[in-house]
C-alpha cells in the first residue's frame, strides 16, 4: 500500500471480507467499512474517503453507514470482468470500448490485467484522455 501511495495513486475502501453490502446488517456494514479503514490508516497513515462496495452491491443502509464514516460511495462505469476471464485481449477491449471522459474502470490485480494495463493506458493517452485519481475525476 505504501508503494501505491508513493507512486501517486489513491487508496479506497472496499470492505474487509468482500461481502455484498446490500445483504448484511447495518452493524456488519459498519464493521466492514470501519475495520478496513482502521487497518489501512494504521499501516499507511492515510484517511481514505472513497468506498466502492464489493460486487456493486449496496443499499441505503450502506450509503448511510459509509457517509457516517466520511466516505463517498463510488461505482465503476466500465467492468473488465478480469476476475473471471483470463484473456488479456478481452480485458483490453472491455476497458477501451465506447470510452468517455469520466469513465471509472473496474480492474483487479490479476496476471492478465497486468498484461493488458500498458496497452489500456497507451490507448487512453493516445486518444487524449487524462488519467487521474478517482477523487480528481469526481470533483
88-135 pLDDT, tens digit each: 999 999 999 999 999 999 999 999 999 999 999 999 999 999 999 999
Q: pLDDT value at position 85?
A: 87
What digits encode the pLDDT tens for the residues 1-13?
999 999 989 999 9
Ranges of each domain in the chain: 2-73, 78-138
Q: Beta strands of 1-139 (E only): which ranges?
A: 50-51, 72-73, 78-79, 105-106
Q: Could you give the percent of the chain with pLDDT greater than 70?
A: 100
CA distances to 71, 81, 90, 113, 136 from 119, in Å? 32, 17, 12, 10, 23
pLDDT at 37: 97
pLDDT band at residue 33 using 50, 70 and 90 as cut-offs: very high
Distance CA 116, CA 89 (A): 7
Tell me the percentage of the chain whose pLDDT exceeds 90.
96
Between CA 97 and CA 100 the distance in angstroms is 9
Please compute the mean of the pLDDT values over residues 40-44 and round it to a whole number.
96
d(CA 100, CA 83) in angstroms, rounded, equals 23
| pLDDT of 28 over the 90 cut | yes
CA 33 remoteness from chain centre: 14
Q: Which helix (H) or strand (E) holds 37?
A: helix 26-44
Residue 127: per-residue pLDDT: 97
Cα–Cα separations (whole angstroms), residue 96 to 38, 77, 80, 104, 114 = 35, 12, 9, 11, 15
Q: Looking at domain 2-73, which of 3.20.20.370, 3.65.10.10, 3.40.50.10310, 3.30.450.20 is its CATH number?
A: 3.20.20.370
- pLDDT above 90: residue 139: no
Phi/psi of residue 84, nearest 5 degrees: -105, -45
Amino acid at each position: 500500500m505504501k508503494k501505491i501511495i508513493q507512486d501517486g495513486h489513491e487508496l479506497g475502501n472496499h470492505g474487509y471480507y468482500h461481502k455484498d453490502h446490500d445483504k448484511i446488517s447495518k452493524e456488519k456494514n459498519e464493521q466492514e467499512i470501519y475495520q478496513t479503514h482502521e487497518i489501512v490508516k494504521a499501516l499507511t497513515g492515510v484517511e481514505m474517503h472513497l468506498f466502492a462496495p464489493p460486487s456493486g452491491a449496496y443499499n441505503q443502509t450502506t450509503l448511510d453507514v459509509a457517509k457516517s464514516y466520511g466516505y463517498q460511495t463510488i461505482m465503476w462505469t466500465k467492468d473488465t470482468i478480469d476476475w473471471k476471464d483470463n484473456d488479456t485481449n478481452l480485458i483490453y477491449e472491455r476497458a477501451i470500448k465506447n470510452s468517455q471522459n469520466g469513465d471509472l474502470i473496474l480492474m483487479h490485480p490479476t496476471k492478465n490485467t497486468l498484461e493488458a494495463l500498458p496497452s489500456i493506458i497507451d490507448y487512453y493517452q493516445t486518444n487524449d484522455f487524462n488519467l487521474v485519481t478517482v477523487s480528481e475525476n469526481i470533483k
